[in-house]
Every structure is written in structure tokens, then in C-alpha cells.
Amino acid sequence: MERCKRLTCISILLHLCFSLLPSTIAISSGSAEGYTISGRVNVESMGAKGFSLPAKVSNAKIILNGGQKVTFLRPDGYFSFHNVPAGTHLIEVDAIGYLFSPVRVDVSARNPGKVQAALTENRRSLIELVLEPLREEQYYEIREPFSVMSLIKSPMGLMVGFMLIVVFLMPKLMENMDPEEIKRAQEEMRSQGVPSIANLLPGTGRS
Amino acid sequence: MAMVLRLSLFLTVLLLSLNPSSALYDDQVGLMDWHQQYIGKAKHVVFHTQKAGRKRVVVSTEENVIASLDLRRGDIFWRHALGATDTVDEMDIALGKYVITLSSGGTILRAWNLPDGQMVWESLLQGSKPSKKFLSVMNFKMDKDNIIFVFGGGCLHAVSSIDGEVLWRKELTTESLQIQQVFQPVDSDIIYAVGFVGSSQFQTYQFNAKTGELLKQSVAAFHGGFSGEISFASDDILVALDATGSHLVLILYQDEISFHQTYISDLVPDSSGVERILPTKLTGIFALKTDSSVVFLRLIGEYKLEVVEKINSAAAFSDALSFSEGQKAFGLVQHVGSRIQLVVKLDNDWNSNLLEESVEIDPQKGLVQKIFINNYMRTDKSYGFRALIVMEDHSLMLLQQGVIVWTREDGLASIIDVTTAELPVEKEGVSVSKVEHNLFEWLKGHILKLKGTLMLASPDDIAAIQAMRLKSSEKSKMTRDHNGFRKLLIVLSGAGKLFALHTGDGRVVWSLLLPSLRRSGSCQFPTGSNIYQWQVPHHHALDENPSILVVSRCGLGSDALGVLSFVDSYTGKELSSLSLAHSIAQVIPLPLTDSTEQRLHLLIDASGRAHLYPKTSEAFKIFQSEFPNIYWYSIDAEKEIIRGHALHSNCGLEETDEYCFNTRELWSIVFPSESEKIISTATRKLNEVVHTQAKVIADQDVTFKYISRNLLFVATVAPKGDCPIGSVTPEESWLVVYLIDTVTGRILHRMTHLGSQGPVHAVISENWVVYHYFNLRAHKYEMSVIEIYDQSRADNKDVWKLLLGKHNLTTPVSSYSRPEVVMKSQSYFFTHSVKTMSVTSTAKGITSKQLLIGTIGDQVLALDKRYLDPRRSINPTQAEKEEGIIPLTDSLPIIPQSYVTHSLQVEGLRGILTVPTKLESTTLVFAYGVDLFLTRIAPSRTYDSLTEDFSYALLLITIVALIAAIFVTWVLSEKKELREKWR
């Protein structure tokens, strides 16, 4: 009974893990100054539930209030902070490769045992303190596989492409043109004098 | 022309900066960055070598790191950094597979899996008062379980090593009881706890190890009193010093307590001063430390002591190691000239040595401080010993068979300060391109690269490409390069050692254990504090080597005398050192240099006097001309006062020192101590360059940045709010930020954030301040930006005024004048806690800035300054969008690709230093903590040089193809023309 008072255990899964986790409740009676916050980190995507954490997460740190206390994960993903005073606390998970939202945890002094937790990023409140990553983090840019398009898009590719157009397509276009039209265009050019880029551009737009 | 160039450059920057910041491909890791992992000074060492397989050693350190090292090579298998307050007290191995650590003042017991470092269990041990900490693991033959006995917080606990469950607990907290030793004789299941009650009573307890039952308790008074430690003289006799420190007291404790005194001077005739017993875990021999020497004493017969050896040089000895049936050995290491000598002896036989080795040692490692020994079986079935030695510079090395197998420079885990030095200029006759031997090799390399980009390379080719890129000796050469990427990082470690690291590959170029930072008669507790660039030759003084100034203090108090030493940055030799007659409260590097390009420094002592260095008449003359223009400020954190100072006159009253000056107080700002407490200050970096004061904003308008070197940012919180999150409510906490001009003491801006608290991390650059704090109402971290604009120049936009000469552009900028400034401010949420914050700096200040945020996860995040722009709004206009203003969001984005540390962590991150390179787009970033990490980043991408993966071969091929095409078309047209003519 006394233990229940002292222990603000949030994890609902206790009945499941009771036999696995005797150490969670191994707090002998004494002059405890605060409460215990227990929770679990769950990384679903790796498929490994329960006992073995993925290698990346086994190195994770759980940080209370920006570095006031630091703890680590047990093999089954559980963690706990002891001797936490009543108040509103912040728990952060540092696991390389994942983005975890910091969690706001209210430890109430008036009614012990009542604990509220909410993710600060999206204000989702948690019924039990099971922390899940918001997303996996990819630290590297993914190299796009080689494609002909990327080669063509590169400055050199564009250069070659333009040259090919000029060399092979332009004569074809000239051939397809009506000889009379060419003649008229030539006359037009002669009458306008030296063509500049400025009056060529709208000209193409008009035709 | 230059203007046009600049404009076009500016446009390119703008254009390019629209892209998100540059990220790394995973095959680029290690090209521009290096990462070094350290653990810190070893405190406890446990070997694990019994079983076949990987031999390892588990180390806990002063940096609160627990690490498992490979015994063959010294590499780290796994490592954990505990919290800053979670100091490791004791460490041991249980069940042959768990590492047990006791930390946080004996209250937290953790078990770590030995192969992979996974935490297995954690238990909280309730204690009531601080006490000594002991940990021992006991193996009961009949059980599979090992029982861990922990004494901490005044309680004795027996803990099961399988799951960390407390089996029994006994409180030993009667009044004024100080438990001195908790131990368990071999092959018995009785635990003894002995201690002093008051100053003259000796108390013993005996417990049954299995049940925790108190078997016996006895008290005896000794009229002479006790002081210091208790040690073992033999299995059943303890030894302590009496209250005066002149007698050794032998204590028989097992059945009846009895005391026997021996006068120390009878044993050690020429000893003087107060001795102390060194804490040893030897039996049969104990050690007494006197002023100059270590004396080993042995018990002969009944209560009679004998000196076995007196060692006058620095020495260290290990705990006893039981290596075969009933035999215990210990190691003793001492300096013999430039060598160290390791002796392993049986603890009951002083005269014969099991092992005697000596090995040459680098004098820059200093004296031996600790030794840990371990035994192994040689092939001829005899016993061999290996020793781990901790040196004065915190390095760790393994000595085996007379050679140093490996060394770890763990002094680099405790960096205090960093500065940089340029490398020497490339001289004539030194071959530049040793890398690319000839054109063929060069072409081959590039064709390989091209194959790589075209995805035609086989795995072998890819490996060859990667090796070629990483090995490129171009980056680790010892000369200056064109882009300014190669530099020396000069770091001062906590052990008082200077290291010069090469920015190319991170290797130690030279190291120097500063003689002035070693403990000596005149300087008992030297502490290094800062390093400054003393002499940076360029232009005419190029022949001289640059040098740095190391400032240290002889003690911890503010009035401790200062010591200066000057070190050559190229050779790592101490040029000279000065023991000052005054203390050092502040060091001000002045923007003045003398004819040998030595920078003038002003040292302010605790009594408020200023001292000029170097003490030459030339420096004095230069200084005289700038005498009235020198201002500085000081922060009195206890009284919450910020004061501004200026120089007054020569202090020639009592001493004829013309380089000493009196100062006067110009202004002071007193913060109300009942409502505000200074927690953070920030200033602009002294060497920061700002390219232009004007800022072109949307619709061709110009604003002027307020750029002042004398800007001080101060953050204060409510006194209640100066504690960790979770202990204050939003109503009783507030944060006030000030911007203060340090010349006039004028408060330019004051802003209050209600319901917020520290810790505050702030950065000032150009005309803006960014700070990070905790918002208690939202229960999230926030970052705010303040930008300062100069209004007095705002009218200069009018072209007519400019033409008619009615502008104020020619009025000189004065620090005394009252600036008309306008502040713009905005706040955003930020996800993570922050450990440290910095900002990129480039050579000319043209490139846009990035904030470098050291997050709680020990990563460094590069965040574009454009995200912290007070002009951001929810719906920016078209013109603003073109300018690059990002629509307002309530929180700052964290893009994983913009972590400059990519998938690495800089364990225990403490600081981030940015160093501009000669290439305007690029800056070097050096992050340090327990680990070191250096990389090169380009906040607006490398717009002024080709990227690493630029394919020269593709360019060549294109050119060749174009030329070929020209020829082909020429031939074709010739033919066609000919055909035309024939027609």
C-alpha cells in the first residue's frame, strides 16, 4: 500500500511485465523525497517487441528537465526516474536516428498516483507513458540513381544537347520551310537591318 | 566594376540560399569531417580477461563516462556518458557478465551488460546522509547469484546481481558515525563495517552477509583521537593516524578492540609535516605519504612496524591483485630519469620482484598518477602482468612486456579553451603535388570517379574511389592552403596540456605539458583558463612563428596570482613564462599590435587595476595614443551589478611600474536582486566581420543595421526561476533580457518574457541576438530573435538629399552618441534542449549566417538565420517571397539533413567554435566535449568553388566531344558544299 503511494507508476502494462521487472518496484521504504516516473520507449517499426531493442535505441538516453537527470533504457525498453519532486517536468529521449517529441509530465503532489503526460510537439496527451518516435531521421541526402535525365540536365549535357539541335534539327527545319517563306523572311530581315536579340524575341512570340 | 561583381555575387548568394542548406551524402562522411572519441581521465578500471575471446577493460572516468575498451588496441567497444551530476563512485564486475556501477553519491546502482553495454537493471538505494561509498561483489559458491554489497548514504545494502533487487538493508546512521571501511575477509560470510564516532571512538559492526543480521557491534574509545583514512596493516589489524598526525595507531578489531601507538618519527627519522595514509587495498603493506616521499611500511611480529622502502620520486601503486592460490601481487611504478619503471611484487615479500620493466616515456605526459594491474598466463604457464597507467596529462596507456602497447590521449576529453593558428606558408623547394604524380594517374583517378557517377563502377572500383577520397594527403599537409581549410587548432586541456590538432585529419601535431601549469612549490593549484593569439605574423613579420598566450591562475580564488606563458604555435615550445605579481580577473585583447605583430593585451586584476602586456616601451607608446578609447565592463554575479570601466591614470604611487594603470568606474547597472538574477550574458565575437550595414528589403527599400561592437546581451530571471524545470510555476517565473551599450551603459532595449525561465543560451552577431529559453506556459523551449536597426541613417534613402549633400553619411560613427535604434523581435518554439549555441563566421561576412545549435542529444544542428527573421509573417507578399522570407510557423523546423554532425554524436558537448576560412562561402566548425568533431560547412553552399564531386572527366569528355562534332560537321558541310557546286 505504501509502495503504491510512493510510486507514481504510469505504465499500464505493469501486470504484463511484473514478473520481468522486479527492479522497478525495488524501492525500499525510507525517507523518499519524491516520486518515481516510469515509462517505456517503444520503437515499433523495427518489429522487435519487448525484449531486444534495436541496436540504435539501446544506446538511447532519457533526459529529465534538460539534463538534470539522465537514465538509460533496460533491455525491454523501460526506464524510470527516481526522487522526482512534484511539479511539471519535461522528458526528452535522445536516440540517434529517431526524432522523439519531448513529453510534459505532471507529477501531482495533492493526489499521488495521478500523472498526466502529453507530447509537447503535437499536444497529444498520453494515457500511459509509452514514448514512440515521431519519425525516423535520415541524416544523409539520398543519392539519386544515375539517370539519363540528370546527365542531360547537367550544364555539359545541355551544351551537347543544344549543339545537336543546332546541327541536326535546324537544317531539317529549314528544309521543311517553304522556300518562298524563307525568301520573305530574308527580305524582312534585310529591311529591318541588323537583327538584334531584342526584336527577335517578340517576333518569335508573334509567329 | 567591383560593385557589379559584388552585386552579382550577392544575387547568386541569394539565389542559392533559397535552397535548403546543403546536406551530406553518406559516401561523403569523413571527407570534410573527423570525429574522435575519448573517455576522460580514468578513475576506476576493471579488467575482464579471464575468458577466452575479446579481452577488454572497463573504465569509468572523471567525465562520468563508463566505457569498455579493447585491451589489445585501446579502441572503444561501447561507452555511456552519465548525467553531469551522476558521478561514478565505484565500479565492479558481477557474474562475469555485468558491469556494476555505483553513482550519484552512492544512491544509484546500475548493471551493464559487458559485451554490448546495454543497461540491464537499475536500482535506487535509499540513503539518508552522505557518507563514504563502497562496493564489493561477493560470490557464494552454492548460488548462481552474486551478491553486491553497497555502502552509500549511510546504509549498507545487499543487492542481488541478477535483477538488482535489494535483499536486505541496514542503516548505520547513528549520530556522528563516520564509516571508514566496509570490507569482507576472503572466504567468510561476515561483513565488517568500521568507523569513527566523533573523533575518538572506534566502532565496528559485523553482519551476516546472507541475511543481514547484525552479529556483533563493539565500541572502544581512544584518547588520542583519529584523523584521516583507515588502512589495513594486515588481515586483522587496521592502521590509522591519531588526531595530531604524529602517531600511527594499530587497531586490532576482530574480537576485542585494542590500540597500539607508534611514533612516526621513530620509523621515518627525517620526516616532517603532516602525513597521511594513502588509501590502499593492499594487505601486509601500507603506504604513508609525507611531503616529499612515499614510505611503505610493513608489520613485523606483533604490532611492530618496519619501513620497507622510501620512494622520493613520484610513484603510484596499484591495488592488490590475487592471481593464483592465495598469492597477491601489486604493481609499483616510479620515474627513473626519463623512463618509468614498473615493478610487480608479492604483497608479503618486498625483496623479490615478480616483474621488473622499464620503458621510455614521452616527457610531455608528465608524472604517473595511477596504475592498475592485471595478470595473464604466458605460453610457458608462468604469470605475466600488464599495467594500465594514467599519466598527469590524463592519458591512458597499456604497458605489457616492456613496451607501451597503446596510448589514448584522453586529456582531449576536457578541453577548456580553443584557438586557431595558421600553418606555415609553403616554401620554395617543397614539392606541392605529391598526390597526383602525373597526368595519367590524375586522369585515371577522374575516370574512376566518372565511372562512379555513371554507376558503372564495380564494388572494387567504388572501394578504390572511397579510399582515394579519404586518403587524399592534400588535406593533411603541414602547410597553408589556398582555401584556408588547413589550420592548427590549439586546445588547452583540463590537465594543463596544450595540443595542436591539424584540421585536416585531427592528428596531434605537437603537445606540450605546460611547465607553468604543473604543481610546484610556488603554485599549488594551477588552473589554466584561457588561450589567446599573442602574435599572428602576416605581412612584414612573416619570418617569425606565430605564438599564443596561455593565461592561468595559481589557485581557485579570484585573487590567485596569474601566470602567463607564451608558446610557439609551430613547434610547441614554451618561449617564456611570466609569474605575475597580480591576479587576473579579466583579459582584454586590444585591437592593437606592435611592430613584431604582438597583440597588446590588457589584464585587469581583482583590485581593479589594469596591466599592459607586452611590457615594452613600444607597446606603451602605441597604447598611449589609444588610452582614452579603452572601455570594458565587468559583471558582479553575486551583487547583480554590471559596471563599465575606463582607464584613469598611471598607478605609480607605490610601485614604479609604468605599465600599470588605475581605472575608474563610468557607469553601473544594478539589477534588483529580489526580482532579477543574472544567468546569462553574450557579446559579439571580437573577430567578426560584417560586410555591409545596409540591408535591401522588399520593394527596393533599404534599412540600416545597427552594428556595434559594444553590445552586451544580459538575461535575468526571477531568483526562484534559477533552478531546473519543474520546480517553479509559470506565475512566479519571468525572464528579462537587456541589450546594453558597454561604453555608455545605456540600456538600448529591455524585454520581459513572463512565465519563462532559464537556462538561457544566447548568440550575438551582426545586428541580431538569438536566445533560447524555456517557456513554462507552453512547456516548450522557445527561441527569440531581436534585430536592431539604425534609424538615424534611415533618411539617407532620399536620392535628392544625397545629391544636394544634405545626408549624414559623412558624420562619423561614435560610440558616445545616442543611437536611434528600432528593435524588431519574434519568438518561435524549438523542440530540443540546447547545450550550447554558436553562429557561423566567414572571412568577409557576405555569406548568410547559420546558427549552430548543440542539442541535448549531443548533435549540432545548423539552422538558417532566415528562420529567425522578425519580418516573417503568415502570408508574405510576393516581393517578400522573392526576397526569401519564409512564411511564419510557430516552431522552427528540424531538418535531419542539416545536422552538421550527421549520424555522429559529440558526447558531452560543451562548446562549438567556428573559424572562417579564406574561401568566403565556407567555415570550419569545431565541436568539443568528451568527443571532438570538426567539419567544414557552407551556409549558402559553395558558390565560389567547384564542389568535391565535380566531374572534371565529364567536362573533358564534353569538350572533346564538341571538338569532334565541330570537325565532323565541318567535313560534312565541306562535302555538302562540294555536292552543291557540282549540281
For B595-609, what is each residue's pLDDT tens digit? Answer: 888 889 999 988 888
Average of per-residue pLDDT values in chain A: 69
Question: Nearest Cβ partner of A26 from B166, B727, B780?
Answer: B166
What is the widest separation between alpha-carbon atoms in chain B? 135
The pLDDT value given to residue B256: 77
**Which SS3 state, helix, strand or coil, does residue A49 take?**
coil
**Non-local CB neighbours of B142 within 8 Å, separated by 6+ positions:** none
Burial class (CB in 10 A: 0-12, 13-18, 19+), B447: middle
Query: In which band, very low, low, confident or very high, does the pLDDT at B432 lie, cut at 50, 70 and 90?
Result: very low
pLDDT tens digits for A168-191? Answer: 787 777 777 777 887 887 888 777
Question: Nearest Cβ partner of B832 from A71, A92, A95?
Answer: A92
Distances (CA, A) of A51 to A41, A47, A71, B687: 12, 11, 18, 54
Q: Which is higher by pLDDT, A57 or B88? A: B88
The pLDDT value given to residue B593: 86
User: How many contiguous H segments (helices) and E segments (strands) does chain A have?
Assistant: 8, 12
User: Cell digits for A61?
Assistant: 538516453
Interface contact B126-A90, CB threshold 8 A: no
CB-based contact A16:A44 (threshold 8 Å): no
Q: How far is A159 from chain B (nearest CA, A)?
A: 8
Distances (CA, A) of B869 to A102, B20, B740, B873, B940: 25, 16, 21, 9, 17
What torsion, rounded to 10 degrees, do the Cα atoms A56, A57, A59, A60 define?
A: 130
Chain B residues inside the 8 Å CB shell of A84: 726
Query: In which band, very low, low, confident or very high, does the pLDDT at B473 lie, cut at 50, 70 and 90?
Result: low
For the beta sheet containing B932-937, the strands, ordered from the edge strand earlier in sequence to the opposite edge, are: B34-36, B932-937, B923-928, B911-916
Which single residue is written with the C-alpha cell 563502497?
B134
Question: Nearest Cβ partner of A146 from B84, B453, B728?
Answer: B453
Give contacts of A 160-199 with B, CB under 8 A.
Answer: 160, 163, 167
Question: Nearest Cβ partner of A26 from B116, B165, B903?
Answer: B165
Closest residue in chain A to residue B166, using alpha carbons only: A26
Please give the DSSP secondary-structure letter assigned to residue B745. Answer: -
Closest residue in chain B to residue A94, using alpha carbons only: B857
Question: Nearest Cβ partner of B958 from A94, A120, A156?
Answer: A156
pLDDT tens digits for B1-36? Answer: 444 444 444 444 444 443 444 577 777 787 888 999
Burial class (CB in 10 A: 0-12, 13-18, 19+), B674: exposed
Span B64-83, average pLDDT: 90
Question: Nearest Cβ partner of A66 from B118, B453, B725?
Answer: B725
B869 vs B766: CA distance, rounded Å: 13
B952 pLDDT higher than 80: no
The answer to whether the predicted template modeling score (pTM) of the entire model surpasses 0.80 is yes
Q: Enumerate long-range contacts of B265-268, CB under 8 Å, 24 or more apart.
A: B267/B295, B267/B297, B267/B305, B267/B306, B267/B307, B268/B295, B268/B307, B268/B310
A52 pLDDT higher than 80: no
What torsion, rounded to 10 degrees, do the Cα atoms A199, A200, A204, A207 define?
A: 60
Closest residue in chain A to residue B125, using alpha carbons only: A27
Strand residue runs (E) in B12-87: 34-36, 42-48, 56-61, 65-70, 76-81
**Phi and psi, residue B3, nearest 5°:** -65, -45
- The angle subtended at Cα B232 by Cα B228 and Cα B234, nearest 5°, is 155
Span B641-647, average pLDDT: 91
Interface contact B896-A82, CB threshold 8 A: no
The verdict on A87 touching B (C-beta cutoff 8 Å) is: yes
Chain A residues inside the 8 Å CB shell of B86: 69-70
- Percentages (nearest 5) of helix, strand, coil residues in chain B: 15, 45, 40
The verdict on A26 touching B (C-beta cutoff 8 Å) is: yes
Interface contact A90-B779, CB threshold 8 A: yes
CB atoms within 10 A of CB B213: 11
Interface contact A143-B25, CB threshold 8 A: yes
Closest residue in chain B to residue A36, using alpha carbons only: B124
Interface contact B82-A58, CB threshold 8 A: no
A3 pLDDT higher than 70: no
Question: Nearest Cβ partner of A82 from B124, B726, B969?
Answer: B124
B288 vs B240: CA distance, rounded Å: 10
**Non-local CB neighbours of A187 within 8 Å, separated by 6+ positions:** none
Closest residue in chain B to residue A166, using alpha carbons only: B969
Interface contact A26-B724, CB threshold 8 A: no
Q: How far is B261 from chain A (nearest CA, A)?
A: 41
Span B716-736, average pLDDT: 84
Going by their DSSP bridges, the two strands B56-61 and B65-70 should be labelled as antiparallel
DSSP state string for B747-804: EEEEEEEETEEEEEEEEEETTEEEEEEEETTTTEEEEEEEEEEESTTGGGG-HHHHHH
State CA B440 to chain mean position distance: 46
Span B664-690, average pLDDT: 89
B59 pLDDT higher than 90: yes
Residue (of B510, B351, B493, B314) closest to B421 by Cα position:
B510
Span B712-730, average pLDDT: 85
The verdict on A53 touching B (C-beta cutoff 8 Å) is: yes
Interface contact B120-A30, CB threshold 8 A: no
Residue to mutate among A41, A63, A84, A96, with most B CBs inside 10 A, is A96
B448 vs B444: CA distance, rounded Å: 6
B402 vs B173: CA distance, rounded Å: 49
Strand residue runs (E) in B144-263: 146-152, 155-160, 166-171, 177-183, 190-197, 201-208, 214-221, 226-234, 237-242, 247-252, 258-263
The verdict on A207 touching B (C-beta cutoff 8 Å) is: no
User: Cell digits for A66?
Assistant: 534538460
A90 vs A65: CA distance, rounded Å: 5
ipTM exceeding 0.85, yes/no? no
Burial class (CB in 10 A: 0-12, 13-18, 19+), B637: exposed
B251 pLDDT higher than 50: yes
CB-based contact B677:B722 (threshold 8 Å): yes
Q: Which is higher by pLDDT, B99 or B245? A: B99
Average of per-residue pLDDT values in chain B: 83
Question: Nearest Cβ partner of A139 from B759, B903, B954?
Answer: B903
The verdict on A116 touching B (C-beta cutoff 8 Å) is: no
Question: Nearest Cβ partner of B169 from A28, A92, A102?
Answer: A28
Interface contact B119-A74, CB threshold 8 A: yes
Query: In which band, very low, low, confident or very high, does the pLDDT at A202 lie, cut at 50, 70 and 90?
Result: very low
Query: In which band, very low, low, confident or very high, does the pLDDT at B535 lie, cut at 50, 70 and 90?
Result: confident
Q: Using the Cα atoms of residue B357, residue B360, residue B364 and residue B366 in order, give the sign of their dihedral.
A: positive
Query: In which band, very low, low, confident or very high, does the pLDDT at B51 lie, cut at 50, 70 and 90?
Result: low
Q: Which amino acid is at B982?
A: W
A187 vs A190: CA distance, rounded Å: 5
User: Cell digits for B453?
Assistant: 557517377
Q: Using the Cα atoms of residue A76, residue A81, residue A87 and residue A88 in order, give the sign of their dihedral.
A: negative
Chain B residues inside the 8 Å CB shell of A75: 113, 118-120
Span B286-314, average pLDDT: 78
- The angle subtended at Cα B230 by Cα B225 and Cα B233, nearest 5°, is 115
Interface contact A70-B897, CB threshold 8 A: no
Q: Peptide bond preceding B614: is omega within 30 degrees of 0, i.e. cis? A: yes
The pLDDT value given to residue B49: 76
Residue to mutate among A156, A165, A169, A175, with most B CBs inside 10 A, is A156
A46 pLDDT higher than 60: no
CB pairs under 8 A between A and B: 171
Instruction: Give percent of chain A above pLDDT 90.
Output: 1
Residue to mutate among B79, B831, B973, with most A CBs inside 10 A, is B831
Residue (of B283, B199, B213, B287) closest to B243 by Cα position:
B199
Please give the DSSP secondary-structure letter assigned to residue B684. Answer: B
Span B979-983, average pLDDT: 89
Q: How far is A88 from chain B (nearest CA, A)?
A: 5
Span B635-660, average pLDDT: 81
> Residue B971 pairs with which residues in a beta bridge?
none
User: Cell digits for A100?
Assistant: 522523439
Radius of gyration of chain A (CA): 35
Query: In which band, very low, low, confident or very high, does the pLDDT at B139 lie, cut at 50, 70 and 90?
Result: low
Please give the DSSP secondary-structure letter assigned to residue B376. Answer: E
pLDDT tens digits for A98-149? Answer: 888 888 888 877 766 666 788 887 777 887 788 888 888 888 887 776 677 7
Which single residue is written with the C-alpha cell 546500475?
B110
- The angle subtended at Cα A114 by Cα A110 and Cα A115, nearest 5°, is 115
Which of A170-174, B74-78, B80-84, B867-871 has the least mean pLDDT? Answer: A170-174
Closest residue in chain B to residue A64, using alpha carbons only: B725
Q: How far is A195 from chain B (nearest CA, A)?
A: 25
Closest residue in chain A to residue B861, using alpha carbons only: A139
CB atoms within 10 A of CB B112: 25
Chain A residues inside the 8 Å CB shell of B84: 67
Query: In which band, very low, low, confident or very high, does the pLDDT at B274 lie, cut at 50, 70 and 90?
Result: low
Chain A residues inside the 8 Å CB shell of B728: 87
Interface contact A140-B83, CB threshold 8 A: no
For the beta sheet containing B780-790, the strands, ordered from the edge strand earlier in sequence to the opposite edge, are: B756-765, B768-775, B780-790, B821-830
Which of A79-88, B57-66, B433-442 has the least mean pLDDT? Answer: B433-442
